[in-house]
Structures are given as structure tokens and as C-alpha cells.
Chains A and B, each alone.
Chain A
């Protein structure tokens, strides 16, 4: 009867088991990180905006070459269409010094 009862694991055994558990946990975290990265990569590559068809790029491409560069200020609303200022692929904050209106800019505008 007594022999059938499980023996109390020694501290060294417990420590070894915990080390093993932590190593497994780390491996799982690494696997989950790589899987997350791969999934995000696939989603961005297949679905993410690469700047070929945004309104901003079309508007910038269609704009005449004499059009002055669009700036962040709202004073030049008569020159730049409203979507040129807001639809820049989700990055609506600050910056904007690089969002020029020249014909070479559409890709840059869309990549932002």
C-alpha cells in the first residue's frame, strides 16, 4: 500500500522540471513570434497598401506641373483637393514636409 503512493519529488527534481517548463515556454514564445511575423508579412504583402491606387497618388499624378506643393496649412485649399491632404494612407499626423506635389511623389505619398 505504501509502495503504491507517489514519493515526494526532491527539490532538485522540481527545479529541473521547472527549468524544462520554462525552456518549453520560451520555445513557444519564439514560435509564436515567428508565426506572428510571418502572418503579418503575408497580410501586408497581399492586402497592405503599396501605394499604387490611392486617391492621393492619382490626384498628384493628375495635377499640372505648375501646381505648387501641398503643405499642411489649410490656406491653399483652393489648389489642393481635400483628399490630397487627408488620404495619405493612414498617416495623418504632423510631418508632411515630404508630401510634395511634384510628379515624382505619388509613390512616396502612398508608401507612407
Chain B
């Protein structure tokens, strides 16, 4: 049985691994920029990067091993172009879009100097959407989506990440109660604060008084 279904099982297992790793990577990424602090922050960035790269590697195995499945015989276009395949068309297309987004947005980290850090940062936020799409793909099309072990494993990493995502976006909508002090417009100097004048020396009067 294993021989016949080897590629199919490999694709499913790597898909599950990719989902779990991507969830962890997104979770640590949210923890990096959010208000929730986990562990030592200097180590969070390399951990986020390592998890992201591992998720991309698992994603690659997920797609490539599907090409070897002797039953479905999908073409490269079927697994790379949305709506090209007739097999589970909607959820498969969702998965393909999510995979492309994860790949492009994830690897854009290494081109952020060329893109511009601010632009890259605003682009990188879309990774959360790609992750949500991949969760939808797994639950909608995944053959094991109804299994207890699958739901337990996915719940353990997806739910905390989802909470962090909600916390991040809820934070954007909270009303800032303390108003910041009024800032002077750029290009205009603020008058220096008056310094306490030292008391005049009793021996001689100030020289300005003479003129």
C-alpha cells in the first residue's frame, strides 16, 4: 500500500508539516512586532526566519511530490496555476494562491534592501492573508481534515497564531486615550526653556546696567 501511495502520502505529510511550520513562523513573526513578548527577543528573528524557510521547503516537497502521484497525474500547470486543475478546483486554487504568496512574500525578505524597508514591511503583512488561505486550503481540501489528530495538531499552532493576529489587528482599532503633547511643525524651532538666572553677585553690579 505504501509503495502505491508513496507520493500521495508524502504530499499529504509535507502539506501538514508546511501548515504547522508556517503557522509557527507567522506566530513568531507576529510576536516579533507585537506587544506580546515571548522569550528572548534577539532570538525571535532567526527563529522566525528558520521556521519560514522550513515551511517553504515543506511546501516545495508538498507540491513536487504531488507531481509524482501515479493516480492523479497532475501536470505542472495543475499544481502551479490557479483554476487550471479540475480536481477540487476551488480549494486547490486557494492553496496555489497561498503557496505563491508565501513564496514571494517570504523570499522578499532577502530583497528588502532593494524593495525598501518600509515598502517591504507593508508587503510582508500580507503573509498573514496567505497563511489564512493555506489554513482554508488544508481544512477545505485536506484529506485528513476530519481526523482528530489533524485537528488537534493544527489547533495547537493555528489557534495561538490566530489569537496573536486578532490581537495585532484589534490593537490597530483601539482608541488612544492619552493625547500626545502638541508638536511643533517641522522647520520651526521651539523656544528654549528659560533657564533659572543665577543671583547677581553682591560685590559688583551687572555690566548691562551701566550702559
Give the interface of A toward B (CB within 8 A): 18, 21-22, 25-26, 29-30, 32-33, 36-38, 40-41, 43-45, 47-50, 89-98, 107-108, 111-112
List 3 tightest A-B contacts by C-beta distance, closest first.
A94-B90, A40-B13, A41-B13
Question: Does A90 contact B2, Cβ atoms closer than 8 Å?
Answer: no
B104: Cβ under 8 A from any A Cβ: no
Residues of B within 8 A of A25 (CB): 43, 46-47, 50
Question: Does B47 contact A95, Cβ atoms closer than 8 Å?
Answer: no
B143: Cβ under 8 A from any A Cβ: yes
A-B Cβ contacts below 8 A, count: 113
Interface size on B, residues (CB 8 A): 42
**Stretch from B14-22, B30-38, B178-186, B193-201 contacting the other chain:** B14-22
Q: Mark B87-101, 1 if CB is under 8 A from A, else 0.
A: 111111000000000
Question: Does B13 contact A37, Cβ atoms closer than 8 Å?
Answer: yes
Question: A86: shortest Cβ distance to chain B, in Å?
Answer: 12
Chain A minimum-CB-distance residue to B55? A33
Residues of A within 8 A of B142 (CB): 90-91
Residues of A within 8 A of B13 (CB): 37-38, 40-41, 43-44
Most chain B beta-carbon contacts within 10 A, residue among A48, A89, A108: A48
Residues of A within 8 A of B61 (CB): 37
Known contacts A36-B20, A37-B58, A111-B8; A45/B88 CB under 8 A: no
Option from B50, B51, B144 in Cβ contact (under 8 Å) with A44: B144
Question: Does B144 contact A48, Cβ atoms closer than 8 Å?
Answer: yes
Task: Given contacts A40-B16, A50-B1, list 7 more A-B pairs with CB under 8 A.
Answer: A22-B46, A33-B54, A44-B16, A50-B5, A91-B143, A94-B90, A95-B86
Known contacts A47-B149, A48-B147; A93/B140 CB under 8 A: yes
Compute how far the CA of A108 lies from the CA of B73 in the bound complex, rounded to whole angstroms. Answer: 11
Question: B147: shortest Cβ distance to chain A, in Å?
Answer: 7
Question: Does A95 contact B89, Cβ atoms closer than 8 Å?
Answer: yes
Residues of B within 8 A of A50 (CB): 1, 5
Residues of A within 8 A of B16 (CB): 36, 40, 44
Option from A21, A29, A89, A95 in Cβ contact (under 8 Å) with B87: A95
Known contacts A25-B46, A48-B143, A111-B143; A93/B10 CB under 8 A: no
